[in-house]
Structure 1
Amino acid sequence: MEHVAEGASLVRDGTILLGAGLVFVLVFRRLGLGATLGFLVAGALVGPHLLGLVGDAETKLGFAELGITLLLFIVGLELSPTRLWRLKQDILGLGLVQVVACGAAISVILLGLAHFSLAAALAVGMPLALSSTAQVLPMLQSSGRLRTPFGERAFSILLFQDLSIIPMITIIAAMSRNPADMGGPPGWVLVIYTVLAISGLIAAGRFVLRPLFRLIGRLGEREMFVFAALFTVIAAAALMQALGLSPALGAFVAGVMLADSPYRHELETDVEPFRSILLGLFFLAVGMMLNLQAIADRPLFVVAIAAALVVTKAGVIALIGRAFRMEWRPAIALGLLLSQGGEFGFVLLAQAQNAYLIAPEAASLFGAIITLSMATTPFLMAATRAFREEPLTPEQERDGPTADGANAIIVGYGRFGQTVGQMLMTQDIPVTLIDTDIEMIDIAGEFGSKVYYGDGTRLDLLRQAGAAEAEMILFCMDGDQLEPATVESIQDAFPNAALYVRAYDRRALVKLKSGPARYVVREVLESAVRMARLAMADLGISRADIDRAEDMYRARDKERLRIQLEAGDLRAAREMVAAQAPWGGGERP
């Protein structure tokens, strides 16, 4: 009976948490405040310090921290060597300077205003130097600036911040006053453990995980990708935890070692739903743990430190941007965009509390400060839009994507897709290739083509592959695999992308022609016309007659297709099909 009661309580708590999260996220999204803030407020409302509808926040937080682990795994998957190399100056320069300068400035403020010890000021100042990736990236995506020079600089800073959580956790552990931490291995042993663990994960990725995913791909068991992806993340995190290191570090390394594999987009797509749910539960649990009474006792402190945080980070980041040769308007915009605290701040504050560097009341106060600072960002960006944006004259153009030409996604890289892709690449058009044929992917890799594994008709995988920013999506799969409803849903999801579809035969052409695709191409039409021309030329027919025969066929075929589309019947206009005359019944056609 006790187990039954516990199960009922878990179901009840889950219903309340998910329901509150759903309502508040929808409201906050509608107000432009972001999902993260909605989860935090929902957790605080139903938590033990306000309505008291749900308790045991610590247990829920421990479970939901897996969401942070999955988030770092996805961050690792984003770090392909080519992208890292292109953004290396902004990541290692701009990002490093921002984290160090903002962390130092905030720590000095805490030393002066809050009278913290040096260790406590550092333990709090470092988390407050981080910004909210979960809040900023959706803002950049919705404004269409993610792939502009401004957006890539903001992304580079956020990426370095996400990476810096690992050394920050190590620094907090080194300053720990917790006897349990003090009884752990010395720092130099942890360094050796870290190097050995990372080396082991890299070796496992090359010699175990890649063959495993290749086998799963050949078997066509897509559900096993989900199991294998979660196993990879949890096993890597468990290895690090067993060695006394950060589980998040293991997940991050697991992501990096698979970032350049053909399975990157499929893994992102499979892990993303779990990451989103667990990360939402993490923020709900953090909201539940906010000590609202401690905040109510010192409201002026919370408001003053939150204001100091926003002003300090905005000013420091703007000055850093100017030092990195940004114009003053984009530099101020960058400072305001990254002026808030971030979700990883809650993780590091919990680490500082467990290390006895700050009291639980202080962790609640600074958690509220991060939450309040996050609430200011949408209002700051809206209020300063006219001031931040350079006035445009009719002759000027707005910032565009950094890549020249169109961004294209080709789904299906067989004999048809290879020709399409290679022709686009001759014009330096950036192309992302997706296919499900493992043997073909391996062969393409031998010739220097990077083809990702996955079902390119799935919206979630296309979104991971960058379809929201792509200018065209070309479906070059073999066979009759694409349904009109699928094409319509893809066009609705990515309205800025022109769709090109390879039709298997005339029946598929009729089926797809009335849909939203910009072009539907019969796969054998041109090659068949070419062969007919060659055959007629070998039979001695003149070039003019061959041209006339081709024009006649194309005109008749076009008219027949129009009639079939109007009738919705493939058998319509059968009398227009050219038929073989009886033997000896006239001249050669």
Structure 2
Amino acid sequence: MAGEAAAHGVDLIQVVALLGAGVLAVPLFRRLGLGSVLGYLAGGLVVGPYGLGLVSEPETILHAAELGVVMFLFIIGLEMEPAKLWSLRKQIFGLGIIQVAACGALLTAMGVLLGFAPVVAFVFGLGFVLTSTAIVMQVLGERGELALPSGQKMISILLLEDLAIVPLLAIVAILAPRGVEETLGERLFGIGLALGAIILLIFIGRRILNPFFSLLAKSKAREVMTAAALLVVLGAALLMQVSGLSMAMGAFLAGVLLSTSTFRHQLEADVEPFRGILLGLFFLAVGMSLDLATVASNWQIIAASVMAYMIAKAGMIYVIARLLRSSHVEALERAVLMAQGGEFAFVLFTQAATVGIIDAQTNAVFTATVIISMVLTPLAIMALDRLMPRRAPSMDGVEAPHDLSGRILIIGFGRFGQIASQPLLAMRHRISIIDNDTDMIRAASQFGFKVYYGDGTRLDVLHAAGADSIDAVLICVNDKEAGTRIAELFRDEFPLVKVVARAFDRGHAIALVKADVDYHIREVFESALTLGAATIRMLGATDEEADDVIAAVRDRDTQRFEAQVFGGITAGAGLLLSNAVEQAREQGVQAPDAPAEESRAAADA
């Protein structure tokens, strides 16, 4: 069967096996709290040649899947405007060079201590220095840390490591035992070719791409725009590859050049689906490449190498970070996240094997060491998250509440709280505001709002905010459980305060009613009714008809809500559906069949 499928050009068994591995393993591992990267790696190991054997050539898939890393860096480049990238130059060429050089020297010495020849130890150590861009970017993205200063430092180091692969490959060629060295002219030609490719890419990005996409946009063909986005990414990668640079760097540079383009968001939306699939395929291929036979026959040296290299590299990264004034938590997080080897190590080891520095067996051992380090990284991150306390937010420019004088307290000053405060300010009421988002507090201060830092679910914070002397509290937090908890605290501790609360949905509104709030409103209810009223007016209804319809909807919603409060959610959902059908029949309209999922969604609205 597999032979028949392959004869027609597509081996569907391998395609289905890869898709099945990702679809089954990733949700399972994320449900267990192990992360998507480890899920992909485990799935690849199961379906690969050293597992069930459903996929026989992981190397081919790995080469194709490297495009996922390329597209990932293109998207990162779109977020890096040239001015922002220039502001990171000290981190890229300062912090990056220091970390690569220090870790490379330490790991080379570690390899010599493990019994490798100095040249072999150098190749092994420098290969392990090149951190996995795919893993670090994926983890930073999942944790929402790509734009944080700590994340920006790691991205800067990764960019330098991507650049470092070029001189490292040249050094490997020089160290080749065959004694065949490039002439000075050949080296100058290679350098000139690389610089020419970069200049050409910059010229195309600044002068040609915007008019090119403007022309394509006029065609109104979405598939052409998608094809053009892929053409830009893969074309830039190919240009860098043929000039001796890395594909990832070409894609990143193309993204930077397009970061100020009016088509930036369209490009990101077009490339994102391919990036996600190919990046997942990359991790699957890495898992499939783990040769269990090699690991079993050389487990002592592999185990020793993995532990020694990861500990040594993490230790050096931590020391460098602390010397450069990073906090203990930030330094430790960077050390754990960047302690593994990466995908560019495979390129370096393959080149070293090609020129005769290492043999095939040593190449397999080195590759297995890097892969196992990549597999262990998500586990190490999980352990770090559980052992380390949650990072405290920066309190620069932020004050805690203490004996506030406002007669009205607003808890939560996001988009809802900001709008709710405006009528109060217009009536010259004295208000006090607390929130636990320090970034929002600093942003609000730029517009003249004094917001204090505090967690409204804590009774001591409420006392400090003067809750025992206020007239009313507005609970505007964007968290259902926190909002209910605050309402319950006011019911039990400050019963004379009028409590007005924002409800996330119908279920949350019921919880707030049971907490005895004086007034609540579902955050989308009024805007949804306004939208519906505007729609029927545009379709021909008079203002009087629209007002009557909206009044009827309000009345039915009140009945449904009361039924849910006193009769339970299920009864309310049934009443909701029956009333909707009844209303449609009264107006002579054939009501559509409502599936159970829709009735449950409506009951939650």
8 Å CA contact 1:240, 1:246 repeated in 2: yes
Q: Displacement, 1:26?
A: 3.0
Note the residue ranges of structure 2 that are not aligned, 5 or more in a row.
Answer: 399-411, 416-442, 448-504, 506-521, 537-543, 557-579, 587-605
8 Å CA contact 1:291, 1:365 repeated in 2: no
- Does the C-alpha gap of structure 1 residues 387 and 56 become closer, same or farther in structure 2, counting only changes over 3 Å? closer
The answer to whether residue 7 in structure 2 is matched with residue 12 in structure 1 is: no
SS for the counterpart of 1:128 is helix
1:398 is matched with 393
Q: Displacement, 1:190?
A: 0.7
The aligned amino acid for 1:210 is: N
8 Å CA contact 1:178, 1:354 repeated in 2: no
SS for the counterpart of 1:325 is coil
2:297 is matched with 297
**For residues 308 and 231 of structure 1, what CA distance do their matches in structure 2 show?**
42
8 Å CA contact 1:181, 1:355 repeated in 2: no
1:235 is matched with 235
The aligned amino acid for 1:188 is: L
Note the residue ranges of structure 1 that are not aligned, 5 or more in a row.
Answer: 392-396, 409-424, 430-487, 489-497, 513-555, 573-589
Residue range with higher mean Cα deviation, 379-388 or 38-47: 379-388
**How far does the alpha carbon of each residue in 1:294-321 deviate from its partner, in whole angstroms, 9 at most, with x for none?**
2111112111111112211221111111
8 Å CA contact 2:166, 2:244 repeated in 1: no
SS for the counterpart of 2:121 is helix
- Does the C-alpha gap of structure 1 residues 298 and 169 become closer, same or farther in structure 2, counting only changes over 3 Å? same
8 Å CA contact 2:61, 2:285 repeated in 1: yes
SS for the counterpart of 1:197 is helix
2:326 is matched with 326
1:208 is matched with 208
**How far does the alpha carbon of each residue in 1:472-498 deviate from its partner, in whole angstroms, 9 at most, with x for none?**
xxxxxxxxxxxxxxxx9xxxxxxxxx9
2:116 is matched with 115
8 Å CA contact 2:81, 2:257 repeated in 1: no
SS for the counterpart of 1:114 is coil
1:313 is matched with 313
**For residues 206 and 277 of structure 1, what CA distance do their matches in structure 2 show?**
29
2:56 is matched with 55
Q: Displacement, 1:220?
A: 3.3
SS for the counterpart of 1:65 is helix
**For residues 177 and 234 of structure 2, what CA distance do their matches in structure 1 show?**
29
The answer to whether residue 361 in structure 2 is matched with residue 346 in structure 1 is: no
**How far does the alpha carbon of each residue in 1:261-318 deviate from its partner, in whole angstroms, 9 at most, with x for none?**
2222322221122222223333333433333212111112111111112211221111
- 1:165-184 aligned within 5 A: 165-173=165-173, 175=175
The answer to whether residue 44 in structure 2 is matched with residue 43 in structure 1 is: yes
1:368 is matched with 368
The aligned amino acid for 2:13 is: R
**For residues 39 and 181 of structure 1, what CA distance do their matches in structure 2 show?**
41
- Does the C-alpha gap of structure 1 residues 326 and 234 become closer, same or farther in structure 2, counting only changes over 3 Å? closer
- Does the C-alpha gap of structure 1 residues 159 and 245 become closer, same or farther in structure 2, counting only changes over 3 Å? closer
SS for the counterpart of 1:48 is coil
- Does the C-alpha gap of structure 1 residues 561 and 351 become closer, same or farther in structure 2, counting only changes over 3 Å? farther
**For residues 342 and 22 of structure 2, what CA distance do their matches in structure 1 show?**
19
**For residues 148 and 401 of structure 1, what CA distance do their matches in structure 2 show?**
16
**How far does the alpha carbon of each residue in 1:215-267 deviate from its partner, in whole angstroms, 9 at most, with x for none?**
22344333222100111122233334444554444333322322232222322
The aligned amino acid for 1:54 is: V
**For residues 162 and 502 of structure 1, what CA distance do their matches in structure 2 show?**
52
Q: Displacement, 1:191?
A: 0.7
The aligned amino acid for 2:239 is: L
- Does the C-alpha gap of structure 1 residues 149 and 284 become closer, same or farther in structure 2, counting only changes over 3 Å? closer
**For residues 24 and 121 of structure 2, what CA distance do their matches in structure 1 show?**
36
1:444 is matched with none
**How far does the alpha carbon of each residue in 1:520-542 deviate from its partner, in whole angstroms, 9 at most, with x for none?**
xxxxxxxxxxxxxxxxxxxxxxx
2:421 is matched with none
The aligned amino acid for 1:41 is: A
Normalised to the residue count of structure 2, the TM-score between the two structures is 0.61
SS for the counterpart of 1:186 is helix
**For residues 117 and 413 of structure 2, what CA distance do their matches in structure 1 show?**
53
1:465 is matched with none
1:74 is matched with 75
The aligned amino acid for 2:359 is: A
1:186 is matched with 186
Q: Displacement, 1:324?
A: 0.9
- Does the C-alpha gap of structure 1 residues 200 and 321 become closer, same or farther in structure 2, counting only changes over 3 Å? same
**How far does the alpha carbon of each residue in 1:396-426 deviate from its partner, in whole angstroms, 9 at most, with x for none?**
x6248999x9999xxxxxxxxxxxxxxxx99
2:106 is matched with 105
2:551 is matched with 563
2:153 is matched with 153
Q: Displacement, 1:352?
A: 3.6
The aligned amino acid for 1:332 is: L
1:197 is matched with 197
**For residues 184 and 269 of structure 1, what CA distance do their matches in structure 2 show?**
45
SS for the counterpart of 2:45 is helix
SS for the counterpart of 1:308 is helix
1:435 is matched with none
8 Å CA contact 1:149, 1:402 repeated in 2: no
**How far does the alpha carbon of each residue in 1:22-74 deviate from its partner, in whole angstroms, 9 at most, with x for none?**
32333333344433333333333333334332223343333333333333433
SS for the counterpart of 2:262 is coil
**For residues 113 and 13 of structure 1, what CA distance do their matches in structure 2 show?**
39
Q: How many matched pairs?
A: 441
The aligned amino acid for 1:111 is: V
1:65 is matched with 66
**How far does the alpha carbon of each residue in 1:341-399 deviate from its partner, in whole angstroms, 9 at most, with x for none?**
234433443444444433333333233322332343444444455764389xxxxx624
**For residues 138 and 101 of structure 2, what CA distance do their matches in structure 1 show?**
25
SS for the counterpart of 2:272 is helix
Kindly, what percent of the aligned residue pairs are identical? 37
Which is bigger in relative contact order (C-alpha 8 A, separation at least 6)? 1
The aligned amino acid for 1:109 is: M
**For residues 3 and 401 of structure 1, what CA distance do their matches in structure 2 show?**
67
Residue range with higher mean Cα deviation, 12-21 or 312-321: 12-21
8 Å CA contact 2:317, 2:331 repeated in 1: yes
**How far does the alpha carbon of each residue in 1:418-466 deviate from its partner, in whole angstroms, 9 at most, with x for none?**
xxxxxxx99868xxxxxxxxxxxxxxxxxxxxxxxxxxxxxxxxxxxxx
The aligned amino acid for 2:314 is: A
1:226 is matched with 226
2:437 is matched with none
- 1:374-453 aligned within 5 A: 374-385=374-385, 388-389=388-389, 398-399=393-394
SS for the counterpart of 1:131 is coil
**For residues 317 and 47 of structure 2, what CA distance do their matches in structure 1 show?**
36
8 Å CA contact 1:34, 1:135 repeated in 2: no
The aligned amino acid for 1:205 is: G
**For residues 525 and 345 of structure 2, what CA distance do their matches in structure 1 show?**
46
- 1:449-528 aligned within 5 A: 507=531
Q: Displacement, 1:335?
A: 1.8
Q: Displacement, 1:189?
A: 0.4
- Does the C-alpha gap of structure 1 residues 233 and 15 become closer, same or farther in structure 2, counting only changes over 3 Å? same
The aligned amino acid for 1:73 is: F
